[in-house]
Structure 1
């Protein structure tokens, strides 16, 4: 089957670069709603048989236009929520953002025993996400869309998708309403495209990005 992995649209916390992972969390900004409408139009003609979203408002609001085009209900699953920031929740400083992303990328590299400070381990985060993936695959649809979150999607894809790895996902920020297309059978997954570009075997130079999914250097959080 084919899965469309979609990051939610822009939120107020994205604008300020905050590690906002609470449930239900904030909704979308005006720009975020425009992004959601655009991705809904982009995928409207795909044979999507189910639309899933996390338990966070921003994911459900992003999923709404696509579900409307397909005349489908949004299936909400808590397992698709963002990686919990734990003690780093709502922080915006570079060391905290870097620690959060470094932990997620360590999971992508296979260190699932590592635990987010005050939060979940890779086993726990991927376990809840994988349970939803199993449900989607078991639904028998030709393709499905799920709207989740930047850190979760990047880390899980780097770990679970055969032609991706930690270098690939670390090097490529997943922008608001960015889409990753993967094909597989629930056990083996292959990435077809990342943000509309065919997946290549050689990643760009690795770098971390900010909480909003944009490039972020230690000297500047703007």
Structure 2
């Protein structure tokens, strides 16, 4: 089975703290379109996304191109899932709180890391059980991508990588406990005009 993880495109108000569950920005829609154009040339059997607007909207061009539905799963959502406020890494840096964030990223958002990690891994396990042996595109977020990579590579912490908006990360394996990382943070599908 191959898991093709896509970090959502850049959301609206990505550099502020005044939005909850924001949709994609114009730049994010361009990122999503270019990412999905790349993935549409591959054999993909299923599409999943978190329930957050920015993830679902990022997968819509691929769903339209392949004629596949998007199965939504809250457990692969970001730490702000269900919260009243979205705080992007860019907004955290702008507020001068980056060091505090890095000390305990999930606690920064008011959550328990072990519970969040278990929820996210449970979500990926659900996908594994539903589409075993197939290729699935999963539109998700920075922390869930980090959690799955850390799980596969035996790393501690959940902020080891910085997946770019619209980037592709690939893993392969026959079960969640036996994953091989094929690539991290693919961005060669972007045109020069795509901004971060």
Q: Does 1:119 align with 2:110?
A: yes
Deviation of 1:39 after TM superposition, in Å, equals 0.7
Unaligned runs of 5+ in 2: 188-195
Pick aligned residue for 1:145 from 118, 128, 137:
137
Q: Residues 157 and 169 of structure 1 are in contact (CA less than 8 Å); yes or no, is this contact kept in structure 2?
A: no
Instruction: Trace 1:103-118 onto structure 2 (pairs within 5 A).
Output: 103-104=104-105, 116-117=107-108
Pick aligned residue for 1:44 from 17, 40, 43:
40
Q: Deviations over 1:164-191 (max 9, x none)?
A: 6359963x42111111101112212111
CA RMSD of aligned residues (A): 2.9
* Aligned counterparts of 1:147 and 1:100: Cα–Cα separation in 2: 24
Deviation of 1:18 after TM superposition, in Å, equals 4.6
- Residue of structure 2 in register with 1:177 after alignment: 166
Q: Does 1:7 align with 2:7?
A: yes
After TM superposition, the score normalised by the length of structure 2 is 0.79
Unaligned runs of 5+ in 1: 105-114, 198-213, 215-222
The number of residues matched between the two structures is 181
- Residue of structure 1 in register with 2:80 after alignment: 84
Q: Which has the higher contact order (CA 8 A, sep 6+)?
A: 2
Deviation of 1:120 after TM superposition, in Å, equals 1.6
Instruction: Trace 1:48-67 onto structure 2 (pairs within 5 A).
Output: 48-67=44-63
* Aligned counterparts of 2:18 and 2:134: Cα–Cα separation in 1: 35
Q: Deviations over 1:130-175 (max 9, x none)?
A: 2221121112241111111113322x0342112x6359963x4211
After TM superposition, the score normalised by the length of structure 1 is 0.70
* Aligned counterparts of 1:52 and 1:150: Cα–Cα separation in 2: 15
- From the superposition, tell whether residues 101 and 135 of structure 1 become closer, same or farther in structure 2 (CA, over 3 Å): same
Deviation of 1:89 after TM superposition, in Å, equals 5.6
Deviation of 1:195 after TM superposition, in Å, equals 2.1
After the TM superposition, list the runs of 4 or more consecutive aligned residues in structure 1 that deviate by more than 6 angstroms: 85-88
SS in 1 for 2:23: coil
- From the superposition, tell whether residues 117 and 195 of structure 1 become closer, same or farther in structure 2 (CA, over 3 Å): closer
